[in-house]
Protein backbone atom coordinates (compact mmCIF):
# COMPACT_ATOMS: atom_id res chain seq x y z
CA UNK A 1 0.00 0.00 0.00
CA UNK A 2 1.26 3.47 -0.88
CA UNK A 3 1.83 5.98 1.94
CA UNK A 4 -0.63 8.90 1.56
CA UNK A 5 1.03 12.13 0.49
CA UNK A 6 0.47 14.11 3.68
CA UNK A 7 3.69 15.91 4.65
CA UNK A 8 3.61 14.58 8.24
CA UNK A 9 3.18 10.97 7.08
CA UNK A 10 5.92 11.35 4.47
CA UNK A 11 8.21 12.80 7.16
CA UNK A 12 7.56 9.83 9.45
CA UNK A 13 8.13 7.36 6.62
CA UNK A 14 11.40 9.11 5.74
CA UNK A 15 12.47 9.02 9.40
CA UNK A 16 11.94 5.25 9.48
CA UNK A 17 13.80 4.90 6.16
CA UNK A 18 16.72 6.87 7.65
CA UNK A 19 16.79 4.52 10.66
CA UNK A 20 16.88 1.52 8.29
CA UNK A 21 19.77 3.00 6.30
CA UNK A 22 21.70 3.97 9.44
CA UNK A 23 21.29 0.47 10.84
CA UNK A 24 22.61 -1.15 7.67
CA UNK A 25 25.62 1.18 7.59
CA UNK A 26 26.24 0.57 11.31
CA UNK A 27 26.51 -3.20 10.95
CA UNK A 28 28.18 -3.25 7.52
CA UNK A 29 31.62 -4.78 7.88
CA UNK A 30 31.24 -5.10 11.66
CA UNK A 31 32.53 -8.43 12.95
CA UNK A 32 30.58 -10.48 15.47
CA UNK A 33 33.37 -9.87 18.01
CA UNK A 34 33.16 -6.08 17.64
CA UNK A 35 29.36 -6.17 17.43
CA UNK A 36 29.12 -7.91 20.80
CA UNK A 37 31.98 -5.97 22.44
CA UNK A 38 31.08 -4.00 25.57
CA UNK A 39 33.16 -1.18 26.99
CA UNK A 40 32.51 -2.33 30.55
CA UNK A 41 30.13 -4.54 32.51
CA UNK A 42 26.68 -3.00 32.44
CA UNK A 43 27.22 -1.15 29.16
CA UNK A 44 25.53 -2.34 25.99
CA UNK A 45 27.10 -3.77 22.86
CA UNK A 46 25.95 -2.80 19.37
CA UNK A 47 24.02 -6.09 19.26
CA UNK A 48 22.32 -5.30 22.58
CA UNK A 49 21.28 -1.86 21.32
CA UNK A 50 19.65 -3.50 18.30
CA UNK A 51 18.08 -6.23 20.45
CA UNK A 52 16.57 -3.54 22.69
CA UNK A 53 15.19 -1.67 19.66
CA UNK A 54 13.67 -4.78 18.11
CA UNK A 55 11.93 -5.69 21.36
CA UNK A 56 10.78 -2.10 21.88
CA UNK A 57 9.25 -2.00 18.39
CA UNK A 58 7.39 -5.27 18.97
CA UNK A 59 6.02 -4.18 22.35
CA UNK A 60 4.93 -0.73 21.13
CA UNK A 61 3.29 -2.07 17.97
CA UNK A 62 1.44 -4.72 20.00
CA UNK A 63 -0.01 -1.93 22.15
CA UNK A 64 -0.77 0.37 19.20
CA UNK A 65 -2.36 -2.09 16.78
CA UNK A 66 -5.67 -2.94 18.54
CA UNK A 67 -6.73 0.72 18.97
CA UNK A 68 -5.63 1.47 15.38
CA UNK A 69 -7.64 -1.47 14.08
CA UNK A 70 -10.72 -0.39 16.07
CA UNK A 71 -10.38 3.17 14.76
CA UNK A 72 -10.13 1.94 11.18
CA UNK A 73 -13.17 -0.35 11.64
CA UNK A 74 -15.12 2.59 13.12
CA UNK A 75 -14.15 4.82 10.21
CA UNK A 76 -12.18 7.34 12.29
CA UNK A 77 -10.57 9.18 9.42
CA UNK A 78 -7.61 11.56 9.58
CA UNK A 79 -8.62 14.93 11.04
CA UNK A 80 -5.25 16.56 11.72
CA UNK A 81 -1.54 15.94 11.21
CA UNK A 82 0.09 12.95 12.90
CA UNK A 83 2.13 14.97 15.36
CA UNK A 84 2.51 14.49 19.11
CA UNK A 85 0.72 16.73 21.56
CA UNK A 86 2.55 18.77 24.22
CA UNK A 87 3.22 15.91 26.66
CA UNK A 88 3.95 13.38 23.94
CA UNK A 89 6.22 15.87 22.19
CA UNK A 90 8.15 16.43 25.41
CA UNK A 91 8.63 12.68 25.78
CA UNK A 92 9.80 12.35 22.17
CA UNK A 93 12.31 15.20 22.65
CA UNK A 94 13.66 13.46 25.78
CA UNK A 95 14.43 10.39 23.68
CA UNK A 96 16.37 12.22 20.99
CA UNK A 97 20.15 11.93 20.94
CA UNK A 98 22.59 12.95 22.06
CA UNK A 99 22.04 11.33 25.44
CA UNK A 100 23.10 13.59 28.29
CA UNK A 101 22.77 13.40 32.05
CA UNK A 102 19.59 15.45 31.61
CA UNK A 103 17.84 12.89 29.41
CA UNK A 104 19.10 9.53 30.67
CA UNK A 105 16.47 7.01 31.63
CA UNK A 106 16.50 3.42 32.74
CA UNK A 107 15.21 0.93 30.21
CA UNK A 108 12.02 -0.86 31.28
CA UNK A 109 12.69 -4.49 32.21
CA UNK A 110 10.42 -5.79 29.45
CA UNK A 111 12.71 -4.40 26.76
CA UNK A 112 16.14 -4.76 28.32
CA UNK A 113 18.43 -6.51 25.88
CA UNK A 114 19.48 -10.10 26.31
CA UNK A 115 22.94 -10.56 27.89
CA UNK A 116 24.74 -11.72 24.75
CA UNK A 117 22.68 -11.69 21.55
CA UNK A 118 24.38 -12.23 18.20
CA UNK A 119 24.94 -9.20 16.00
CA UNK A 120 23.65 -10.81 12.80
CA UNK A 121 20.47 -12.08 14.46
CA UNK A 122 19.65 -8.81 16.24
CA UNK A 123 20.34 -6.66 13.18
CA UNK A 124 18.02 -8.85 11.09
CA UNK A 125 15.41 -8.88 13.86
CA UNK A 126 15.47 -5.11 14.26
CA UNK A 127 15.20 -4.52 10.51
CA UNK A 128 12.27 -6.98 10.41
CA UNK A 129 10.49 -5.01 13.12
CA UNK A 130 11.23 -1.82 11.19
CA UNK A 131 9.31 -3.38 8.28
CA UNK A 132 6.44 -3.89 10.72
CA UNK A 133 6.63 -0.21 11.69
CA UNK A 134 6.54 0.81 8.01
CA UNK A 135 3.56 -1.52 7.46
CA UNK A 136 1.75 -0.02 10.46
CA UNK A 137 2.24 3.49 9.09
CA UNK A 138 1.02 2.50 5.62
CA UNK A 139 -1.95 0.54 6.96
CA UNK A 140 -3.20 3.21 9.36
CA UNK A 141 -2.01 6.47 7.76
CA UNK A 142 -5.57 7.43 6.84
CA UNK A 143 -7.00 7.15 10.37
CA UNK A 144 -6.90 9.90 12.99
CA UNK A 145 -3.42 9.02 14.30
CA UNK A 146 -3.34 12.17 16.44
CA UNK A 147 -6.74 11.44 17.97
CA UNK A 148 -6.61 7.69 18.64
CA UNK A 149 -4.95 6.78 21.92
CA UNK A 150 -3.26 3.66 23.24
CA UNK A 151 -2.04 2.68 26.69
CA UNK A 152 1.71 3.12 27.02
CA UNK A 153 2.97 -0.44 27.55
CA UNK A 154 5.59 0.70 30.08
CA UNK A 155 3.64 3.34 31.99
CA UNK A 156 0.03 2.06 32.04
CA UNK A 157 -1.38 5.28 33.50
CA UNK A 158 -0.16 7.17 30.41
CA UNK A 159 -2.09 7.16 27.15
CA UNK A 160 -0.35 8.40 24.03
CA UNK A 161 -1.80 9.14 20.63
CA UNK A 162 -0.79 6.76 17.86
CA UNK A 163 1.03 9.72 16.31
CA UNK A 164 3.08 10.10 19.48
CA UNK A 165 3.80 6.36 19.45
CA UNK A 166 5.16 6.55 15.92
CA UNK A 167 7.35 9.54 16.80
CA UNK A 168 8.54 7.69 19.93
CA UNK A 169 9.59 4.71 17.81
CA UNK A 170 11.61 6.94 15.48
CA UNK A 171 13.27 8.92 18.29
CA UNK A 172 13.97 5.78 20.31
CA UNK A 173 15.70 4.22 17.30
CA UNK A 174 17.79 7.35 16.71
CA UNK A 175 18.77 7.39 20.39
CA UNK A 176 20.04 3.83 20.48
CA UNK A 177 21.64 3.95 17.05
CA UNK A 178 23.58 6.98 18.33
CA UNK A 179 24.61 4.82 21.32
CA UNK A 180 25.49 1.89 19.04
CA UNK A 181 27.69 4.08 16.83
CA UNK A 182 29.56 5.33 19.89
CA UNK A 183 30.04 1.73 21.01
CA UNK A 184 31.22 0.64 17.57
CA UNK A 185 33.81 3.45 17.46
CA UNK A 186 35.00 2.58 20.98
CA UNK A 187 35.28 -1.11 20.05
CA UNK A 188 37.27 -0.31 16.92
CA UNK A 189 39.60 1.96 18.93
CA UNK A 190 40.11 -0.64 21.67
CA UNK A 191 41.14 -3.44 19.34
CATH of domain 7-190: 1.20.120.450
Q: How far apart are the first and last CA of the chain?
A: 46
pLDDT in tens, 131-161: 999 999 999 999 999 999 999 999 899 999 9
pLDDT in tens, 33-85: 999 999 999 999 999 999 999 999 999 999 999 999 999 999 999 999 999 99
pTM (two decimals): 0.94
Chain length of the chain: 191
- Give the separation between CA 135 and CA 158, rounded to whole angstroms: 25
Amino acid sequence: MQVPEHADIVTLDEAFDAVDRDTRVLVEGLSEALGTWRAQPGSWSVAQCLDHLATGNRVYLAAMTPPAERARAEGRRRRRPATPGAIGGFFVRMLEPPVTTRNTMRSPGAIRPRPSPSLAETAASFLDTQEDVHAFLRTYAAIDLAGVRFVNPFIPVVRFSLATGLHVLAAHARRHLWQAWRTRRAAESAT
